[in-house]
A and B are shown apart, each in its own frame.
Chain A
Amino acid sequence: MNASDDRDLRERFAALRDEDAAGAPPLSRVLRVRTVRPPARPARWIPVAALVTAAALTAVVLVLKSRGAEPSIEEAIAQAQSISSWTAPTDEWLTLSGLEIPNSVPSLSLSSVTLPEAPTAATAQGETR
């Protein structure tokens, strides 16, 4: 590699440079392209993000509202009573005919069996002698 090689290369590049320079677009045209470019469209995710945010805010407000309203004492008592007195509609199915007999305690006075009377104290002593 010597100086003449470099000179040859420089001449070739100079020829290319001159041709490029002759065909270069005017600066004004390169700068003007900016004006015909369509304006940038807003990003598509913005409306979606706005909707999601609005939905999240609504949900938060509803949850806070439902938690914040505490019932009065009277309402709480009435609610507790309604819960404790509640019976299932199917409870009636558990009532069978004849089931009241084992569930009731029989009374002796109502017995039909005649029992012997108990011996007196005097008869009891004679017998022992």
Chain B
Amino acid sequence: MTTMEAALAEIHAEAFGWALACCHRDRFLAEEVLHVAYVKVLDGSARFDQRSSFKTFLFGVIRKTAMEQRRARWLSARRLAQWFTTRPAPAPVADPEAISLRTERANALTAALTRLSGRQSEVMHLVFYQDLTIEEAAKVLGITTGSARQHYERGKSRLRELLPKEAQP
């Protein structure tokens, strides 16, 4: 395993979570996006210049790749279908039954996130899910820190409205 592959393995689960967020929780598309992003990193077409952390860099690549994939989705439909027929058997953990066992809290959060604007949802995910700072989230999204902070505040406020209140322990 190369150094770059080891670095990918270290944050693979978080990268998959970010890919899911960029693909509107579409697992199939997220996996495809993740694959393309990894290939970009491994073959050098996306080069890590060490101006930020590797995680921030990789998240930027995943986000850009997801945007490209969405833009070209109608073109790649045939390719995806072909890939689906030739892909290896899915791992047992990825079966639909396991997905349906998601906790109620997570379901409510997922539903609430879909009602935020795209930017707000992305900032919420990067800050709360990925534990990035607002500055790092801004770098991933390619926006200013001030703009990211604004999306963060509005998104948080909106989430509080949308999520059901829970009894404090």
**CB within 8 Å of B: which residues of A?**
1, 4-6, 8-13, 15-17, 19-27, 29-34, 36-38
Contact = CB atoms under 8 A, between A and B. Distances in A.
B129 interface: yes
A33 B43 CA distance: 15
Interface string B98-121: 110011011011100000000000
25 contacts: A1-B156, A1-B160, A4-B168, A5-B156, A10-B128, A11-B105, A12-B105, A13-B109, A13-B124, A13-B125, A13-B128, A16-B110, A16-B129, A19-B102, A19-B103, A20-B13, A20-B17, A21-B17, A23-B27, A24-B12, A25-B16, A25-B91, A33-B35, A34-B39, A36-B86
B82 interface: yes
Contacts of B16: 20-21, 24-25
Interface of B: 5, 8-9, 12-14, 16-17, 20, 27, 31-32, 34-35, 38-39, 42, 82-83, 86-88, 90-91, 93-94, 98-99, 102-103, 105-106, 108-110, 124-125, 128-129, 153, 156-157, 159-160, 163, 166, 168
Nearest to B101: A19
Contact of A8 (B31, B91, B166): B166
A30 B35 contact: yes
B35 A21 contact: no
Nearest to B95: A23
Contacts of B8: 27
B141 to A, nearest CB: 17
Given A23-B99, A34-B39, A1 B17 contact: no
B interface SS class: helix
Nearest to A22: B93
Given A31-B35, A36-B87, A20 B20 contact: yes
Nearest to B113: A16
Contacts of A19: 102-103, 106
B92 to A, nearest CB: 11
Contact of B106 (A9, A16, A38): A16
B86 to A, nearest CB: 5
Contact of B128 (A9, A22, A25, A26): A9
Contact of B91 (A1, A11, A17, A26): A26
User: What 7 A-B pairs come out closest when comparing CB atoms?
Assistant: A13-B128, A24-B16, A21-B13, A16-B106, A13-B129, A12-B109, A20-B17
A23 B157 contact: no
B20 to A, nearest CB: 6
A31 B9 CA distance: 11
A6 B94 CA distance: 30
Contacts of B39: 34
